[in-house]
């Protein structure tokens, strides 16, 4: 599970952030670029200093960085990309940067406090990387450890070793960009990204470059990549998509804005469609689905009806509470709750502390129509009629309403329509 990192109220590891690069050569153009970026759906700005005409003049760099900061409150990434890893290096008054100059530049930029995040090429620095990263972090600057391959997609073993070195160097965010030679490279790299996201416990940013790898730039909701780079005034790498187009594509994936570490609890009376809606939400969000009743039945190796008959209802209710207590608040699941889950105050407190509670509402006639042929409802045993269902619903409805963060009427709606409504509501919470 990825640990989240918040920089200026922007959270890495919670959905897919959009970062736009500044690639202008002079101060006026750089300031114009910042203003244009601010009018686009962008979360983070990256200043590619290596495009700057005076990219090794620390006084001019500091002044320009200050100008950028005065224009925007957005998180700023400072990046000097060396030519060895695809950098532009538009030099007027200097030669290709040396490691000594590169390290000195990063430390002096960190000293200013004007950048929120600094990109450090850890493979380029080798054993020197850890010292540079530690220096920046002592200045309260976050660090992206980055690695770029403009000619190949390395084998997984090699990439794993690189990620391990970036992680061990102490960086806050781990980034890798590769160039695919074939479709299999793209698929392999997406699968590799997913593994790294679930291994490194830090935000991971990856992209496969060029037209062939373009799909990876919009696939963060599947792979877990925390940020994608999109162009506003100019692209800094092959395959970057315009920011407005990127925003639309991310929204079309369905889950980009839903908090990844947010559990969704579906509550409501038996037969209101919790299990069915959970499956529709799975298709739209990719979140794992847990049916609390089924989970408890598997744990106890008996049906709910058997638990009621052998141990009584109170035994089962305690099992529901135990289920919630043991649920990881960061696991990010859709939980289809049993009909009585929201009756206990301690259950409601646990659900609200670990996620968002959605009530599915349905009429007693709709409920009856859905459960009339189900003989696995112990509370309706010998009472399968609309009158009794209404009586039981009346005793519970206020508990459901009080527990819910949002209520969805389900009568006459398809599961897909209901799931869309829930996703839309959750997106609006951001």
Catalytic residue among 148, 202, 259, 260: 148
pLDDT digits (tens, 9 = 90+) for 352-375: 888 899 999 988 888 877 767 666
Q: Residue 329 has what pLDDT?
A: 65
- Which of 149, 175, 202, 319 is labelled catalytic? 175
Please report which confidence band the pLDDT of residue 383 belongs to, taking 50, 70 and 90 as the band edges: low
Max mean pLDDT range (141-145, 147-151, 310-314, 345-349): 141-145
Q: What is the pLDDT of residues 67-88, one digit of tens each?
A: 999 999 999 999 999 988 888 6
Residue in the structure block whose two tokens are 């990856």: 206
Q: Where are the alpha helices (DSSP H) in 286-343?
A: 292-300, 304-311, 313-325
Mean pLDDT to the nearest integer, 83-101: 73
What is the model's pLDDT at position 374? 62
- CA-closest candidate to residue 41, choices 15, 20, 68: 20
CATH superfamily of 5-252: Aldolase class I (3.20.20.70)
Q: Give the dihedral of Cα atoms 391, 393, 396, 399; nearest 10 deg.
A: -140
pLDDT at 236 over 90: no
- Catalytic-residue membership of 130: no
pLDDT band for position 95 (cuts 50, 70, 90): low
> Are 141 and 113 contacting, i.e. CB atoms less than 8 angstroms apart?
yes
Report the mean per-residue pLDDT for the chain.
88
In the prediction, which pLDDT does 428 show? 62
- For residue 100, pLDDT over 80 is answered with yes
What is the longest distance spanned by two Cα atoms in the chain?
89
Q: Determine whether 44 is exposed, middle or buried from the number of CB atoms within 10 Å of its CB (0-12, 13-18, 19+).
A: buried
Residue 175: active-site member: yes
User: DSSP string covering 166-218, please?
Assistant: HHHTT-SEEEEEE--SSHHHHHHHHHHHHHHHHHHSS-EEEEE-TTTTGGGGG
Helices and strands in the chain: count of H runs, count of E runs: 17, 16
pTM recorded for the entire structure: 0.63
Note the pLDDT of residue 255.
47
| CATH label, 263-428, candidates 1.20.910.10, 3.40.50.300, 3.40.50.1480, 3.20.20.70 | 3.40.50.300
Give the domain ranges of the chain. Answer: 5-252, 263-428
Q: Which residues pair with 22 in a beta bridge?
A: 47
Q: Which residue would you say has higher pLDDT here, 55 or 366?
A: 55
Which pLDDT does position 86 carry in this prediction?
Answer: 80
Confidence of residue 89 (pLDDT cuts 50, 70, 90): low
| Pair 177, 207: CB distance under 8 Å | yes
Residue 254 has pLDDT above 60, yes or no: no
Percent of the chain with pLDDT over 90: 53
For residue 27, pLDDT over 80 is answered with yes
């Amino acid at each position: 599970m990825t640990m989240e990192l918040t920089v200026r109220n922007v959270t890495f590891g919670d959905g897919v952030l959009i970062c736009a690069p500044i690639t202008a050569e002079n101060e006026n153009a750089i300031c114009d670029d910042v203003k244009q970026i601010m009018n686009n759906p962008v979360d983070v700005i990256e200043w590619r200093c290596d495009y700057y005409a005076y990219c090794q003049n620390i006084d001019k760099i500091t002044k320009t960085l200050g100008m950028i900061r005065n224009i925007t409150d957005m998180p700023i990434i400072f990046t000097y990309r060396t030519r060895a890893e695809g950098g532009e290096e538009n030099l007027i008054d200097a030669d290709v940067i040396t490691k000594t100059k590169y390290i000195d530049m990063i430390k002096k930029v960190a000293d200013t406090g004007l950048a929120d995040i600094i990109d450090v090429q850890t493979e380029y620095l080798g054993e020197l990387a850890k010292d540079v990263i530690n220096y920046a972090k002592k200045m309260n600057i976050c660090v992206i450890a980055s690695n770029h391959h403009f000619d190949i997609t390395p084998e997984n073993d090699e990439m794993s070793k690189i990620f391990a070195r970036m992680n061990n160097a102490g960086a806050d965010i781990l980034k890798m960009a590769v160039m695919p030679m074939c479709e299999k490279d793209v698929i392999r790299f997406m699968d590799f990204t997913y593994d790294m996201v679930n291994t490194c416990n830090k935000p991971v940013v990856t992209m496969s470059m060029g037209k062939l790898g373009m799909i990876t730039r919009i696939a963060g909701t599947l792979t877990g990549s925390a940020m994608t780079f999109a162009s506003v005034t100019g692209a800094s790498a092959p395959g970057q998509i315009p920011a407005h187009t990127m925003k639309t594509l991310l929204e079309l994936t369905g889950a980009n804005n839903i908090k990844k570490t947010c559990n969704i609890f579906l509550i409501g009376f038996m037969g209101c469609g919790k299990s069915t809606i959970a499956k529709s939400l799975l298709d739209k969000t990719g979140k794992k689905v847990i049916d609390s009743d089924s989970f408890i039945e598997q744990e106890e190796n008996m049906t709910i009806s058997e638990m009621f008959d052998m141990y009584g209802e109170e035994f089962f209710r305690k099992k529901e509470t135990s289920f919630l207590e043991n649920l990881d608040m960061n696991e990010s699941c859709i939980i289809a709750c049993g009909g009585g889950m929201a009756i206990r105050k301690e259950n409601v407190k646990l659900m609200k502390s670990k996620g968002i509670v959605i009530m599915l509402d349905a009429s007693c006639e709709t409920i009856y129509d859905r459960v009339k042929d189900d003989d696995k409802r112990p509370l309706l045993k010998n009472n399968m009629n609309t009158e009794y269902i209404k009586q039981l619903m009346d005793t519970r409805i206020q508990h459901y309403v009080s527990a819910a963060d949002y209520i969805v009427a389900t009568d006459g709606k398809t599961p897909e329509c209901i799931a869309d409504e829930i996703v839309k509501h959750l997106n609006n919470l951001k």
